[in-house]
Amino acid sequence: MESDAAAYLPWFILREIPFLGNQGVNRLVQAFGTPGKVLAAKPDAWIKIAGVSKKILPGSLQVRQYTDAAQKELHQITALGIKILTLHDRGFPGLLKTIPDPPPILTYQGHMDPQAPCIAIVGSRNASSYGMDTARYLARRLADMGFCIVSGMAKGIDTAAHTGALEATGNTIAVLGSGLKKIYPRENKDLFYRIQKSGAVISEFKLDTDPYPYNFPVRNRIIAGLSCGTIVVEAKKKSGSLITARLAAEYNREVFAVPGSIRSQKSQGTHSLLKQGAKLVENETDVVNELSHLVHQEPVSGIPLPAPVSKPVLDAAKRQIMHVLEVYPRHIDSIIESSRMDSGMVSAVLLELELLGIVKHHPGAYFSIVKE
């Protein structure tokens, strides 16, 4: 990044001009050489560039107005110690440059390693315990093997993915659907600051941009564009995660999907991806085998793998309850009906299994198996 923030002013001015957009900015900069040369040219010359709309003409005649707004934004960025990357900067991620509409400007907090191979892990905001555990496990293992874990810092699978990477002391990148001054969701404020210590929180939006719903499909292209592959852990039929997977496929990147229960709506989207040819993921090896040329063959974090833990011996009643439980939560009434056991006995056995750490109690009297 250049030391003088003022050198970025032409980039920020171009971003302010209505109807220009990312592709318009990139086409003009490619045609004229630099943003400064674009601004020095007459607007009539702009619209001669293929793909640049005549709608930009009114805005292009008010550059002074947009200069004031751009200077104000740059002043905030400098005051907060936020970093800037443009398409012309050496540190701009190489893979992201290759998508059809890369962001001309990224702002970020933390540090980015342009050499680290990135893998995206995305999925449902309203995830099951199975999905959360799986995302966290995969992120931890893949981060330990040299991947930078990319996700969107949303609730559910995104949060689990970032958390798993942090547990492995690995790199992780959160791509926001808002500006860096608008942390979303608010409950991930602590995660926002933790990520900065082991990676970066990045955004293409202005600092004060609110998390509008239409921002998230836009930011998904950055998640897919940064990554050599995208893993979808849980997704319904109509899910933003499927947008990320579709974009990854369009960018000629690998698409992976984790299978779930055939009775869960939260896995319908992932199963659809598998039917379309996504790589099935049962563990981190399935990912590494596809992308092994990009990662270290040995864990890099120095954290030893945990020693195997002996499984508790279960009596007949506990085995009967475990037989009817799943990784997806079931209500206690359903468990009683399936086990054909007395309700008091079921409650007692579930408590014992919970104390053993092999069953999880969810709000509303739901229970699930804790996935190893």
Binned at pLDDT 50, 70 and 90, residue 167 comes out as: very high
Strands of the 199-203 sheet, one edge to the other: 83-86, 105-110, 199-203, 172-175, 148-151, 118-122, 229-232, 254-257, 279-280
CA end-to-end span of the chain, whole Å? 44
Indicate the helix (H) or strand (E) that contains 91: none
- Per-residue pLDDT of 183-219, as tens digits, reads 999 999 999 999 999 899 999 999 999 999 999 999 9
228 shares a domain with 156? yes
320 shares a domain with 277? no
283 shares a domain with 176? yes
Write out the two tokens for 158.
């995104």
Write out the two tokens for 51.
């793909």
Write out the two tokens for 313.
């011996």
221 within domain boundaries: yes
Query: What single-letter DSSP state applies at residue 313?
Result: P
Report the distance separating Cα 300 and Cα 303, nearest Å: 8
- As a whole number of angstroms, the longest Cα–Cα distance in the chain is 83
208 shares a domain with 65? no
54 versus 350: the higher-pLDDT residue is 350
277 shares a domain with 338? no
Into how many domains does the chain fold? 3
301 within domain boundaries: no
269 shares a domain with 139? yes
pLDDT (mean) for 25-38: 93
Pairing of strands 148-151, 172-175: parallel
Q: Are 108 and 86 in contact (CB under 8 A)?
A: no
By C-alpha distance, which of 66, 62, 140, 117 is closest to 253?
A: 117
Any idea what the CATH number is for the domain that residue 359 is in?
1.10.10.10
CA angle 147, 26, 251 (to 5 degrees): 40
pLDDT (mean) for 9-35: 92
65 within domain boundaries: yes
What is the pLDDT at residue 351? 84
What is the pLDDT at residue 314? 81
Pairing of strands 359-362, 366-369: antiparallel
151 shares a domain with 287? yes
What is the pLDDT at residue 372? 54
108 within domain boundaries: no
* Residue 225: partners with Cβ closer than 8 Å, 6 or more residues away: 93, 95, 96, 98, 99, 102, 247, 251
What is the pLDDT at residue 66? 87
Binned at pLDDT 50, 70 and 90, residue 293 comes out as: low
Question: Of 64, 80, 96, which residue is a domain's last?
Answer: 80
261 within domain boundaries: yes
What is the pLDDT at residue 264? 83
What is the pLDDT at residue 316? 86
Report the distance separating Cα 335 and Cα 62, nearest Å: 68
Write out the two tokens for 5.
């923030």
**Residue 106: exposure state from Cβ atoms within 10 A (0-12, 13-18, ≥19):** buried
| 150 CB neighbour count, 10 Å cutoff | 32
- Per-residue pLDDT of 35-49, as tens digits, reads 999 999 888 888 888
Binned at pLDDT 50, 70 and 90, residue 369 comes out as: confident
Q: Are 244 and 223 in contact (CB under 8 A)?
A: yes
**Residue 287: exposure state from Cβ atoms within 10 A (0-12, 13-18, ≥19):** buried
Q: How far is CA 159 from CA 93, 330, 340, in A?
A: 23, 24, 38
For the ranges 2-11, 52-61, 254-263, the maximum mean pLDDT occurs at 254-263
Report the distance separating Cα 138 and Cα 122, nearest Å: 11
Any idea what the CATH number is for the domain that residue 136 is in?
3.40.50.450
146 shares a domain with 211? yes
Q: Which range (20-29, 104-113, 326-335) has the least confidence?
A: 326-335
348 shares a domain with 273? no
Question: Of 240, 262, 294, which residue is a domain's last?
Answer: 294
206 shares a domain with 284? yes
pLDDT (mean) for 100-107: 95
Q: How far is CA 344 from CA 350, 351, 355, in A?
A: 10, 11, 17
- Per-residue pLDDT of 48-78, as tens digits, reads 888 888 888 876 777 778 898 999 999 999 9
- Residues, the chain, total? 372
By C-alpha distance, which of 11, 18, 110, 88 is closest to 57?
A: 18
222 within domain boundaries: yes
Domain residue limits at 176: 118-294
271 shares a domain with 138? yes
Any idea what the CATH number is for the domain that residue 20 is in?
1.10.150
What is the pLDDT at residue 2? 42
- Per-residue pLDDT of 88-98, as tens digits, reads 998 999 999 99
Average pLDDT, the chain: 88
- Per-residue pLDDT of 296-310, as tens digits, reads 444 444 434 344 445
CA angle 131, 133, 135 (to 5 degrees): 65
Q: Which residues does residue 149 pair with via DSSP β-bridges, in sequence order? A: 119, 172
